[in-house]
Amino acid sequence: MPSRKALVRRPSPRLPEGLVTHIDRSPVDLALALRQWEAYVAVLAGHGWETIEVEPADDCPDGVFVEDTVVVFRNVALIARPGADPRKPETPAVEQAVTALGLSVNRVREPGTLDGGDILKVGDTIYVGRGGRTNGEGVRQLRSVFEPLGARVVAVPVSRVLHLKSAVTALPDGTVIGFPPLVDDPAVFPRFLPVPEEAGAHVVLLGGGRLLMAASAPKSVELFADLGYEPVVVDISEFERLEGCVTCLSVRLRELYG
């Protein structure tokens, strides 16, 4: 049976110092952020996911955005090399966690940079955002690791948001969803569904047609419910102040066997 494990990492006490690039900085309530993170983790656990807490990175303000540190395809992990230098210390503990799970580990090497938030997997297709945090050498190294495993790697431009998955994610049937003003080229995707809010472009597939979504996208929640899905709503307002979304607070491991 496929796995249902999710890596998570507790927010750093320095979370309010997290990086922002495409939005204006606003104050972050650390106590509220911690409660929101605990509620997010509880939702994963409540829908059958085994949550695995990576060792905290208290000196790394953005460490809670654990998705950026690793990309997993089948039983192979590619440890990222973050495009923002202050985030590079986030990766060693994540490498320890995936090694303990029995994954084969590769690493993005200098001069490559790659953030996991730039990766959208749809079946065996891996879309990789080429933009501010992921460079061409990072894309090349991603190809070299995952194409021999049967992946099809498609590079797409990202210029209007921090990461590819700040702009698009995908529904269970493979339809890519996005907020059109933030998507560089919707034609890249075979099936694209526009959504009415920025946060509506971000869903985590919990299984069984259930979609983990942010409370800040009520119109998109209604849209997906009308399409027959079951939205599961969480409030992540404090992470959204740092360009975070529901996808980047966990790494979902669906393809581990054995």
| Residues marked as catalytic | 163, 248
Do 67 and 249 touch, CB atoms closer than 8 A?
A: yes
Diameter of the chain measured on Cα atoms: 46
Helix (DSSP H) and strand (DSSP E) numbers for the chain: 6, 15
Helix, strand or coil for residue 202?
A: coil
Tokens of 189: 């995707």
Do 239 and 215 touch, CB atoms closer than 8 A?
A: no
C-alpha to C-alpha distance for 190 and 187, rounded to whole angstroms: 7
Nearest CA among 165, 220, 221, 160 for reference residue 189 = 165
CA atoms within 13 A on the CB side of 200: 19
